[in-house]
Structure 1
């Protein structure tokens, strides 16, 4: 009798939860979308570009993109690499602490092109620029010390998204004006009180250190670097090929905050495990790095899809600009629930804009808004 009462009580609780939770977590009215950010004044933008110009006189500056072997953010890394290699205004090298493959998140592994030790031996004078993608938690002491050493040799340090955490850990944001992903601003303030956060700018340059906002600031700040190194015509050509209309520092910080509706979507997607699926993205030789990064992130950030990259026989794939990518699975035995089309080759920077409506249709509009929020992308497709 006692056991029956216990089972009945548990059953009543479960039944009540099944009834109440969908009601509590049901989508409500989203916050209205804010107006687009205003363009940056010409003199301010010119000063920002000037602050990013190389200090050494050389025809081909040396740019190192540093990657943490354990975990480096995929779209941050791929966009930086894809934009800079496409622009062809500098010698670009992917550097990692070890020669082992770099695990991107979310996504496949890539082969670094040099270790820190090998890069230092080849370039004892240091790089002209070091690009730092997010590599959470951003507390690797070897990379932090190397960034400080590179800065002391004269390199300008440029972080993308939560790459600001690594710069802060290295002490490179102390006493500086900076930007960062909206989710990390409070943490940066608390741990580094002398840093001054600059709102409404998607990238900020202060005394040889540049920082940027969320993931989708990676293309604008890289185009700003292209302009600083190769001039306005090189940046315009590259932007045109990518499908980018502007790359100034415009941003509206108020458009990116975790609202009640966002929290409900996070919880709803986490609880509805039966909606989760494995999404496959086929890789072929010459895949565009920018498009691949944005496409993987668009689905992985839904909290409903596990994204796997697929290669013929599981063999390494060489990207459009020569990066070796190690697919997650062989395409022949993928076992995916949904296979996407290959990443686009035309206007790759428009991948997220084009894919968000598809995400909204496949899952729901609140989930697409979550993707835009996490990637700090000013999407006009459904409020915020």
Structure 2
């Protein structure tokens, strides 16, 4: 995925394709999230518009109709096309979509556009033949139905989102927000994505490989929380932090703390801490002139080799490559 930092002449054009039975929250997600991605001077990085086949009104699952300003011709010039989830229709029941919709989606991808889906929008992309032979995801509750209809797609319903070159798919509802933030981070770096996340009152980063929350019971309401321990740890990422240290900050036994921590975050304490260290390292690579060795120590990795291994596992690149892509001074030489 190319970095759009230098492409500041015009906003990146996003076309959101709404079909009948579109999920209301999914439809609003791209506009809400991408509109918060702005330069420090306040300029918008993205221009988000909604279209439907023929520019006709479509029904949403939220009890209202969507009256768009554009038809499928919007896809002809879009840099990114996003298909929100649907809760009914032939794409879900028969694995088929209108030929004009399939043609428009294929044409957009073939000319170089990035194509994304939120939740069951993956059924639409699959019906257009765009997911054949690719890894993809959708809402876990629709996984078996998806597999029956689209056996040539390598479906992984256990993750939040998957990026397969210019084809990106996400799980249900909130995972669509995660995917949009992921795209902002790819295009403009963590600092812009983090500002967008704060405007949306969202966590700045959930790894796409993180498991979907599949019918887990809601924890019983209690005054006890691991939030204090998590904030304590964030301030000490450069230090060695043991599980017992975290449990003591929350005034819980290790066993209780571990159970409650996973209930609140969906991760083990070790997984969460590693994620925090990696995210902080990415931010320092983007926004400081510290050497990779200094960053590794400040983030608690200890060695450059450990930091390099974690970055490669999470995003597939070395620290120096990441910095050259996202640092405003790409001429920096790593040491």
| TM-score band, normalised by shorter chain | 0.5 to 0.7
Name the residue aligned to 2:27.
Answer: 77
2:88 is aligned with 1:140: no
Whether contact under 8 Å (1:52, 1:208) holds in the other structure is no
Task: Give me the whole-angstrom Cα distance separating, in 2, the residues matched to 1:134 and 1:159.
Answer: 7
TM-score by length of 2: 0.56
Q: Which position in structure 1 is the counterpart of 2:303?
A: none
* Matched-pair contact (CA < 8 Å) for 1:200–1:252: yes
Higher percent of residues as strand: 1
Q: Superposition pairs for residues 232-271 of structure 1, below 5 Å?
A: 232-248=190-206, 249-253=208-212, 255-257=213-215
Structure 2 residue aligned with 1:345? none
The counterpart of 2:161, out of the listed 198, 203, 226, is: 203
Q: Deviations over 1:355-380 (max 9, x none)?
A: xxxxxxxxxxxxxxxxxxxxxxx985
| CA–CA separation in structure 1 for the residues paired with 2:166 and 2:33 | 21
Structure 1 residues 54 and 199: alpha-carbon distance in aligned structure 2, compared to 1, 3 A threshold: farther
Alignment equivalent of 2:58, drawn from 102, 115, 122? 102
Structure-2 residue corresponding to 1:62: 13
Could you give the per-residue CA deviations for residues 219-256 of structure 1, whole angstroms, max 9, x where no partner exists? Answer: 11111122222322211111011111233325324x41
**If you compute each CA radius of gyration, which structure gives the higher value, 1 or 2?**
1
Query: Which SS does the other structure have where 1:147 is aligned?
Result: helix
Root mean square deviation of aligned Cα: 2.8
Contact 1:162 1:181 survives alignment (8 Å): yes
Q: CA deviation at 1:203?
A: 0.4
Deviation at 1:77, TM superposition (A): 0.6
- Distance in 2 (alpha carbons) for counterparts of 1:53 and 1:129: 14
Instruction: Say if 2:43 is the partner of 1:86.
Output: no
- How many pairs are equivalent? 206
TM-score (norm 1): 0.49
Q: Structure 1 residues 65 and 53, CA, compared in 2 at 3 Å: closer, same or farther?
A: farther
Residue 194 of structure 1 corresponds to 152
Which deviations, in whole Å up to 9, do the C-alpha atoms of 1:137-187 show, x marking residues without a partner? 333322222111100111111000000000110111110011111122112
Q: Secondary structure at the match of 1:112?
A: coil
Larger RCO, structures 1/2 (Cα 8 Å, 6+ apart): 1
Structure 1's 379 and 167: CA in aligned 2 closer, same or farther, altered over 3 A?
Answer: farther
1 CA distance for matches of 2:128 and 2:4?
A: 22
Unmatched 5+ stretches in structure 1: 1-50, 260-377
Deviations, residues 301-344 of structure 1 (Å, cap 9, x unaligned): xxxxxxxxxxxxxxxxxxxxxxxxxxxxxxxxxxxxxxxxxxxx
- The answer (yes or no) to whether the contact 1:94–1:113 under 8 Å persists in 2 is yes
Aligned residue number for residue 262 of structure 1 = none
CA-CA distance at 1:213 after TM superposition: 0.7
Q: Which residue does the alignment assign to 1:370?
A: none
2:63 aligned with 1:113: no
Post-superposition shift, 1:258? 9.8
Q: Give the drift of 1:113.
A: 2.2
